[in-house]
């Protein structure tokens, strides 16, 4: 490795991420490094074609000579996540029980000792965070204009569609973009007990929840910054149809909605273990 090697340009990295399905081309891991298939010392240049994604283990194996170049090239030609249409699950390390769980949603904070539900839409929580005897679990569902799930965290297990425009997982922050400058999600994981949703476009049944660092709007209405805390369960905003078992002081039944798209959209992410996925036809 040469000292004067320039950084890989960001647009090139994004192209490589997308082509590789946002994971190690061999095992699909969301924690990866950029690998020059033919060594930098031989080519002395960065090219999209010669770059691939490998997790730490596979990268080490390649460096040691245990993983031949031909095997990496074969995986690069048909990355596992691209074949599956969905990324391999990544397990977030929200582990042991914590005294106070906190969801930071833009300029709002929702805290509780056992369960935190920042908002429900038509009785469905798009985010929740809970502590059980097994430990702390984070749950997040991000849907598209067709009401189909594009990214899901289910009991700390992160998966997402492999054909998004960009997903970047650097440090503790996961960033999803639909197009240049068009952010769908910026989420920062702070185990053991905090999650920061800095930016997000949540949508469900035509209800749009737009999260920005200083403002959250629901169906176009601004929700002023608030902090809610309870010993047991905190329920933030109840939006749309009420559910008989969900009680909250903050309820909006008449919320403006945009039409949900129907037709030939991209297919929903295929989830394992019978996790329910709502598709646009329901």
Q: Which of 97, 157, 99, 156 is nearest to 132 (CA)?
A: 97
Tokens of 147: 């009401």
CB 237 within 8 A of CB 250: yes
Q: Give min distance, CB of 75 to Zn ion, in A.
A: 9
Residue with tokens 């074969």: 74
Beta carbon nearer to Zn ion, 143 or 160: 160
Binding residues vs Zn ion (CB under 5 A): 24, 26-27, 29, 55, 58
Q: Which of 254, 225, 223, 227 is nearest to 239 (CA)?
A: 254
Cα(200)–Cα(196) distance, rounded to whole angstroms? 11
Q: Give min distance, CB of 80 to Zn ion, in A.
A: 9
CB burial readout 249-272, b (16+ within 10 A) else e: eeebeebeeeebeeeeeeebbebe
Beta carbon nearer to Zn ion, 55 or 127: 55
3-class SS of residue 57: helix
Q: Give min distance, CB of 90 to Zn ion, in A.
A: 12
Beta carbon nearer to Zn ion, 29 or 102: 29
Beta carbon nearer to Zn ion, 129 or 169: 169
Q: Give min distance, CB of 59 to Zn ion, in A.
A: 8
Beta carbon nearer to Zn ion, 17 or 201: 17
Q: Give min distance, CB of 2 to Zn ion, in A.
A: 26
């Amino acid at each position: 490795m040469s000292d004067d090697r320039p950084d890989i340009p960001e647009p090139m990295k994004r192209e490589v991420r997308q082509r590789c399905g946002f994971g190690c081309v061999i095992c699909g891991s969301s924690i990866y490094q950029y690998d020059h298939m033919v060594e930098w010392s031989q080519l002395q240049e960065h090219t999209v074609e010669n770059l691939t994604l490998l997790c730490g283990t596979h990268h080490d194996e390649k460096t040691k000579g245990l993983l031949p170049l031909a095997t990496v090239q074969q995986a690069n030609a048909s990355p596992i996540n691209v074949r599956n249409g969905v990324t391999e699950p990544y397990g977030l390390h929200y582990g042991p029980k914590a005294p106070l769980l906190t969801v930071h949603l833009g300029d709002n904070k929702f805290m509780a000792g056992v369960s935190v539900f920042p908002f429900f839409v038509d009785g469905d929580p798009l985010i929740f965070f809970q502590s059980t005897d097994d430990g702390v679990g984070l749950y997040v569902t991000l849907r598209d204009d067709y009401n189909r799930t594009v990214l899901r965290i289910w009991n700390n297990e992160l998966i997402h569609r492999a054909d998004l425009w960009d997903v970047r997982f650097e440090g503790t922050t996961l960033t999803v973009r639909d197009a240049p400058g068009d952010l769908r999600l910026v989420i920062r994981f702070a185990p053991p007990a905090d999650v920061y949703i800095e930016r997000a476009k949540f949508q469900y049944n035509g209800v749009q929840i737009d999260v920005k660092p200083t403002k959250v709007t629901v169906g176009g209405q601004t929700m002023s910054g608030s902090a809610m805390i309870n010993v047991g369960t905190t329920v933030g905003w109840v939006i749309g149809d009420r559910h008989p078992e969900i009680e909250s002081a903050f309820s909006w039944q008449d919320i403006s909605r945009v039409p949900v798209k129907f037709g030939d959209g991209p297919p929903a992410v295929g989830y394992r273990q019978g996790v329910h996925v709502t598709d646009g036809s329901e």
